[in-house]
Structure 1
Amino acid sequence: MSDVTILHNSRCSTSRAAMGRLDEAHIEAEVVDYLRHPLDAVALGDLLDKLEDAPTDLVRRDAYFAELGLTEADVETREQVVAVLTEHPRLLQRPVLVKGGRAIIGRPKERVAAFLAE
């Protein structure tokens, strides 16, 4: 079993860079393609329990977010974040790395190396 899990999107350059960091550090990670295998509400809650970032930071604010008609008011609380990401997994910020009882969003890219070194 891996010590590190990465929620990964192979189409994302930042997520691919995190995978490169894992390779450079010779760390085998459990790779979760969250678009093919979306997290359910329980898994998202567990992730938020470990996340060092604010829950709302887990939601991408991109064109799809706007297209859905979402606003900041829709992702203010932990419960709202879970509801939005359960319904729209594409909005999950990436990459997300989990190690032990801690998790981070791997943005900016420099955060990944520091997290893996700890």
Structure 2
Amino acid sequence: MPTTLIYHNPRCSKSRQALQLLQDNGITPEIKEYLKNPPSVEELKQLIDLLEIKPRDLLRTKENEFKEAGLDNLALDDTAVIEAMIRFPKLIERPIVIHDGKARIGRPPEQVLELL
């Protein structure tokens, strides 16, 4: 059975819904509470590659830390964006599910079902 991992924030309703969808489909994922245990730079780069997006596409732009980190400056390169997400893991969009070597952002939560 493929390993499934969810980058989860239990306080987020979308994250809880995505986790429930996985469980309803018979999948018990490994849960990584990324706010308590933030990803490393390498782990974040791998996630971005699996998602097939740019680092900026993984940002939560409405968080206070977005402006604090100067991320509204579109001239910042990918390295600066990744470093900001490491410094402020709250900026990482959630939930992210990895299943069978593929990844999806669970916004809306039903998108995680595309992996099954």
With the length of structure 1 as denominator, give the TM-score of the two structures. Answer: 0.84
Q: Any stretches of 5+ residues in structure 1 without a counterpart?
A: none
How much identity, in percent, do the aligned residues show? 33
Question: Corresponding residue for 1:86?
Answer: 86
Q: Any stretches of 5+ residues in structure 2 without a counterpart?
A: none
Report the RMSD for the aligned CA atoms in angstroms.
2.1
**C-alpha spacing 1:97/1:75, structure 2 compared with 1 (3 Å):** farther
Deviating above 2 A after TM superposition, structure 1's stretches of 4 or more consecutive aligned residues are 52-55, 69-78
1:12 equivalenced with 2:12 (yes/no): yes
**C-alpha spacing 1:28/1:94, structure 2 compared with 1 (3 Å):** same
**C-alpha spacing 1:76/1:69, structure 2 compared with 1 (3 Å):** closer
With the length of structure 2 as denominator, give the TM-score of the two structures. Answer: 0.85
Q: Distance in 2 between matches of 1:4 and 1:39?
A: 16
1:50 equivalenced with 2:50 (yes/no): yes
Contact between 1:6 and 1:95, CA under 8 Å: does it hold in 2? yes
